[in-house]
């Protein structure tokens, strides 16, 4: 298994390379009876679409989704939903010089070491376009969660050294923000910082915070499939993520027990909504660190296939930072994890099974 499938009951399989024919996903195990149309998915894809402003790659893709199966007369049927986006604006020739060189900060060397062959055009399978499948599937998961009163929302919490101030939060602003930041002041500073990075042929890192409200207590499986463990896998599986925190995260390691425990009657949420691997009923809070885009136009030293060091200034079209366009990816992976665990949780009690199957025989 080359690891392109995720989930136990709500199971997604993504495929596609940056400069291949297209990218897509098969969603297997989607409950039957959900109203679903292309627009439900398109609106999520549009949030990650390239070419939207000066802080995203200039690659121009309409990223129109096609639903090829699993929906009949406007409703999901329980059979696999195949979703397809064709690639349009490939400039494959821009990448031919990369066939013999391993870009710093990229997976190029790993691919060659592993497979002995590599589609070097635009990052191949490790391109950001790989996330289209995740977002398309996640849009379905998010719609299902909404039916159960569960809402997943992510935003850019910091760009380089610039951090959003919770006091300035403006959810409406975030929707129009070029950087997906809910704090207008922070966004302005972030843009200045980014402009400087771009002038230097450099790139920036950032963090994303994702919040999930409405999850009932007890979701997540003790031991290996803890809610936080599966979120950890899901978020780390997004390219460029180098750190994940739940609730207070690393700050908790500096606190004492009396400071960190969320006592009854208080409104603290140090635990970020997860205790012992299960949801506690409070808002789930996840924080992810995205490294700066490794493709920079500054000259770098890169290893060649010939074993020698080469000078490399990366051309092609790249985002100067990853976090803003990744917010919707974080939301979608989170939605998929929580939906899958809700589905797995249905058989946790005999009592629930009897309530569901008792009806068949009276």
Considering only residues 113 to 142 of the shown chain, the ones binding a copy of itself according to CB under 8 A are 113-119, 124-126, 130
Q: Should residue 290 be labelled a site residue for a copy of itself when binding is judged by CB under 8 A?
A: yes
Contact segment (CB under 8 A) with a copy of itself among 39-47, 56-64, 165-173, 232-240 equals 232-240
47 close to 155: Cβ distance less than 8 angstroms: no
Q: Should residue 281 be labelled a site residue for a copy of itself when binding is judged by CB under 8 A?
A: yes
CB of 324 to a copy of itself, least distance (A): 13
Q: Should residue 278 be labelled a site residue for a copy of itself when binding is judged by CB under 8 A?
A: yes
x/- mask, a copy of itself, residues 50-69, rule CB under 8 A, reads: ----------------xxxx
Q: Should residue 226 be labelled a site residue for a copy of itself when binding is judged by CB under 8 A?
A: yes
- What is the three-class DSSP state of 64? coil
Q: Should residue 271 be labelled a site residue for a copy of itself when binding is judged by CB under 8 A?
A: yes
Secondary structure string (H, E, C) spanning 277-297: CEECCCCEEEEEEECCCCCCC
CB of 80 to a copy of itself, least distance (A): 4
Q: Should residue 5 be labelled a site residue for a copy of itself when binding is judged by CB under 8 A?
A: yes
- What is the three-class DSSP state of 111? helix
12 close to 137: Cβ distance less than 8 angstroms: yes
Q: Which of 90, 203, 327, 334 binds a copy of itself (CB under 8 A)?
A: 203
Give, in order, the Cα–Cα distances in Å from 111 to each of 19, 96, 98, 127, 315: 16, 16, 13, 13, 20
Q: Should residue 15 be labelled a site residue for a copy of itself when binding is judged by CB under 8 A?
A: yes
* H or E segment to which residue 345 belongs: helix 323-345
Q: Should residue 92 be labelled a site residue for a copy of itself when binding is judged by CB under 8 A?
A: no
Query: Segment 316-355, which members bind a copy of itself (CB under 8 A)?
Result: 323, 342-355
What secondary structure letter does DSSP report for 306?
Answer: T
Picking from 71, 245, 36, the residue whose alpha carbon sits closest to that of residue 141 is 36
Spatial separation of the C-alpha atoms in residues 311 and 132, rounded to whole Å: 32
Query: Segment 159-198, which members bind a copy of itself (CB under 8 A)?
Result: 160-161, 197
The residues, any chain, with a CB within 8 Å of residue 335's CB and separated by 6 or more, are 138, 141, 142, 145, 152
Q: Which of 172, 250, 267, 306 binds a copy of itself (CB under 8 A)?
A: 250
With respect to a copy of itself, which residue has the nearer C-beta, 166 or 175? 166
* Tokens (6 digits) for 69: 């199966």
DSSP assignment of 126-158 equals: GSGGGHHHHHHHHHHHHHHHHHTT-EEEEEEEE
Q: Which of 65, 204, 284, 329 binds a copy of itself (CB under 8 A)?
A: 204
Q: Which of 24, 122, 128, 324 binds a copy of itself (CB under 8 A)?
A: 24
């Amino acid at each position: 298994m080359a690891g392109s499938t995720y989930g136990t009951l709500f199971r997604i399989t993504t495929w596609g390379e940056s400069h291949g024919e297209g990218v897509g996903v098969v969603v297997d195990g989607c409950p039957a009876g959900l109203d679903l149309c292309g627009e439900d998915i398109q609106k999520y894809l549009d949030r990650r679409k390239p070419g939207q402003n000066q802080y995203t790659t200039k690659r121009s893709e309409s990223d129109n989704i096609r639903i090829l199966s699993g929906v009949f007369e406007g409703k999901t049927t329980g059979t696999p939903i195949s979703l397809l986006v064709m690639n349009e604006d490939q400039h494959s020739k821009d990448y031919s010089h990369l066939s013999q060189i391993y870009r710093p900060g990229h997976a190029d060397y790993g691919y060659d070491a592993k497979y002995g062959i590599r589609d070097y055009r635009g990052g191949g399978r490790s391109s950001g376009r790989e996330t289209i499948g995740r977002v398309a599937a996640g849009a379905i998961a998010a719609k299902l969660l909404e039916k159960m009163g569960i809402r997943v929302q992510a935003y850019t919490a910091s760009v380089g050294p610039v951090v959003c101030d919770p006091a300035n939060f403006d959810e409406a602003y975030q929707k129009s923000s070029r950087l997906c930041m809910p704090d207008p002041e922070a966004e302005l500073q972030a843009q200045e910082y980014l402009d400087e990075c771009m002038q230097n042929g450099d790139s920036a890192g950032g963090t994303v915070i994702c919040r999930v409200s409405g999850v009932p207590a007890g979701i997540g499986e003790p031991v290996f499939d803890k809610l936080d463990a599966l979120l950890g896998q899901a978020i780390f599986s997004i390219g460029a993520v180098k750190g994940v925190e739940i609730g207070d995260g690393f700050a908790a390691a500096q606190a004492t027990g009396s400071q960190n425990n969320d006592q009854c009657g208080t409104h603290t949420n140090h635990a970020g909504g997860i205790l012992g691997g299960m949801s506690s009923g409070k808002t789930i809070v996840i924080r992810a660190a995205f490294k700066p885009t490794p493709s920079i136009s500054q000259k770098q030293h890169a290893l060649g296939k010939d074993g020698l060091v080469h000078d490399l200034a990366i051309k092609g079209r790249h985002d100067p930072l990853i976090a803003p366009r990744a917010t919707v990816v974080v939301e979608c992976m989170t939605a998929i994890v929580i939906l899958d665990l809700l589905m797995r949780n249905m058989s946790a009690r005999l009592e629930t099974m009897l309530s569901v199957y008792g009806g068949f025989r009276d």
